[in-house]
Amino acid sequence: MSNTTVSTAKNPRLEIRIAGAGGQGIILAGIMLAEAGIIQDLYVAQSQSYGPETRGGNSISEVILSNTVIDFPQSTELDVLIALTQVACDKNLPDMKDAGLVIVDSDAVRRVLWEKIISIPFGEIARKVGEERAINVAALGSLVPFCPLINRRVLTRAIASRLPSAKLEANLQAFDKALQFASRLKDRLKYAGATEEFEI
C-alpha cells in the first residue's frame, strides 16, 4: 500500500480544499485550519468562494500550508479534498493531484471515481453529539491522521477561538470522533479500479 500521509519533508506544500453547501460552515472550517497553520508558524494562504444562495449553494474554502514561502497562493493540484456533498465531490475531483486523498461524507456522497478515498459519516457524527452544525469541525478532525503538518492540539485551539463556549464541547466531541474514525481507516484505504466508478 502506498504512503497514507499527504505532507512530508519532501513535499512541504499542502493544498487542501473543503467543499460543500452553504450553511455547512465550509468557510469557517477553512479559516480555523488557516489560523492553526499560523499558530504553528507555517506559511499559510487561504481563499474562499461561494454561490449567491445563503444556504444550499456551492461553498469552497482552500487552505495552503507550507514550511517554505508560498510563491503562488492558489491551488495548482489538490493534495486533499474534503467533500460534504455529491455535487462538491463531482465538481472538485478534476483538481486533484494523482496521488491525492479524497475524504467524503458517507451520508451525502455515494459514488466516487477515485483511487485514494476514505468515507466518514460526518453528518451522523454531528447529529450524535447533538450539534448538526458540527459537521465542519468533524471534517477538520479527519485531516489530522493524514497530514503531519497539522497539529491536533493547535487545531483544536484554533477551533475553540472561533466557536461560542456553549457549542464548543459538542464540536470538539465531533472533532475527536471523526479523528478516531479516520485513524482506523488510515491503513485500510479503499481503492477503485482505474476505469470503474467506486460505490461507497
| Residues with Cβ within 8 Å of residue 68, at least 6 apart in sequence | 12, 13, 43
* Domains of the chain by residue range: 13-186
13-186: what CATH class? alpha beta
- Rounded to an integer, what distance in angstroms lies between the CA atom of residue 69 and that of residue 179? 29
Query: Residue 134: its pLDDT value, please?
Result: 98
Q: What is the DSSP string of 19-82?
A: EEETTS-HHHHHHHHHHHHHHTT-EEEEEEEE-S-SSSSEEEEEEEEESS--SS-S-SSEEEEE
The per-residue pLDDT for 95 is 96
Could you list the mean pLDDT of each consecutive 10-residue stretch along the chain, which spans 200 residues?
Answer: 57 91 96 98 94 70 95 91 97 94 95 90 98 98 95 98 97 98 81 38
